Amino acid sequence: MKILNGAALSKKIKSVLAIEIDYLVKKHGRAPKLCIVLTGDDPASTSYVKSKQKSCNEIGILCDLRLLPYATSQDELLALIEVLNNDPETDGILVQLPLPKHIDQNVVLQAIDYKKDADGLHPMNVGLLNRSDDAIIPCTPKGILSLLKAEDIPITGKHCVVIGRSNLVGKPMAQLMLRENASVTVCHSKTRDLPHLTRQGEILIIAIGHPNLLHADMLKKGAVVVDVGINSVDGKLVGDLYNSIDVQDIEKKAAAITPVPGGVGPMTVASLLENVVEIYKRRCAV
């Protein structure tokens, strides 16, 4: 079984981006800039934001981190987004999710100028992706596709089964695989007879947010398995594939698997950096 090493590819993407940014700064006289807005102090979100900030710093993207208290009102957050939308120096805007419960996530995501939408979650970018047009693509699905392509995993004509239908991962992943000419099945918590469908997946992408669902007998022999999940079990970071009983059988049956950590996570960050540079280039070209 092959390990799809997202950490190594992410490192490679970052070093290529660093060279490109160096060139772009000389050409346009300023560095790309991402503004990350974090509302509240959720430990997981804080850790993701720090990792994104560190990666920006490593490759020459300016990272403007706005830390807002949990009690920030929706209007205050929207007012900040308007300022960032109109700031000529800000290329990408990322509002870290989840937002506090008193704030409507959809209203906030829609308020971001879709041309600065570094996470690709604005309805305009969702629509452009669905039309196979020039969208800013959500970072996790984009990173997964980059990893599959870098590893020469054939996609055209393959049956791709996506487990999970979130706006963040499952739905854009399915759209992206469709765009790449896979035949796509999307499964979710109300799917009947999940094993019947997962057994058909030549590429199986699992993004449900809890471990122990997938067992070896639910897998097609030779499947490429992408594990998106991030879960904490006994203080250890594990994916959705983590299964104390038969993880070794899964590994024997699959042709390739993404590890957790070191698989999809680093690719998500690399794709965010790519999105920021892409937005910057589009803005500089206008």
Site residues for ligand NAD per CB under 6 A: 140, 163-166, 168-170, 187-189, 191, 194, 207-209, 213, 228-231, 264-265, 268
Select 39 or 90, whichever has its Cβ closest to ligand NAD: 39
CB of 201 to ligand NAD, least distance (A): 13
Residue listed under structure tokens 């038969």: 246
Residue listed under structure tokens 């300023």: 30
**Residue of 52, 142, 171, 220 marked active site:** 52
Residue in 19, 52, 16 with CA at minimum distance from that of residue 34: 52
52 is annotated as an active-site residue: yes
**Residue 252 belongs to what H/E stretch?**
helix 247-253
Residue nearest to ligand NAD according to CB distances in the complex: 166
Distance of CA 222 to the CA centre of its chain: 25
CB of 167 to ligand NAD, least distance (A): 8
Select 80 or 197, whichever has its Cβ closest to ligand NAD: 197
**Residue of 33, 91, 96, 227 marked active site:** 96
Select 90 or 125, whichever has its Cβ closest to ligand NAD: 125
22 is annotated as an active-site residue: no
Select 93 or 267, whichever has its Cβ closest to ligand NAD: 267
CB of 57 to ligand NAD, least distance (A): 19
Select 121 or 254, whichever has its Cβ closest to ligand NAD: 121
The DSSP letter of residue 215 is: -
CB atoms within 10 A of CB 241: 26
CB of 269 to ligand NAD, least distance (A): 8
Classify the phi-psi angles of 190: left when phi > 0, otherwise alpha if psi is within -120 to 50, otherwise beta.
Answer: alpha
Q: Are 207 and 189 in contact (CB under 8 A)?
A: no
* Residue 170, CA distances (Å) to 26, 49, 188, 190, 280 in order: 39, 22, 9, 14, 27
Distance of CA 213 to the CA centre of its chain: 22
Q: Are 279 and 136 in contact (CB under 8 A)?
A: yes
41 is annotated as an active-site residue: no
CB of 209 to ligand NAD, least distance (A): 3
**Residue of 33, 91, 116, 119 marked active site:** 119
Select 100 or 209, whichever has its Cβ closest to ligand NAD: 209
DSSP string, 109-169: HHHS-GGGBTT--SHHHHHHHHTTSSPPPPHHHHHHHHHHHHTT---TT-EEEEE---TTT
CB of 139 to ligand NAD, least distance (A): 7
Give the active site residues.
Answer: 52, 96, 119
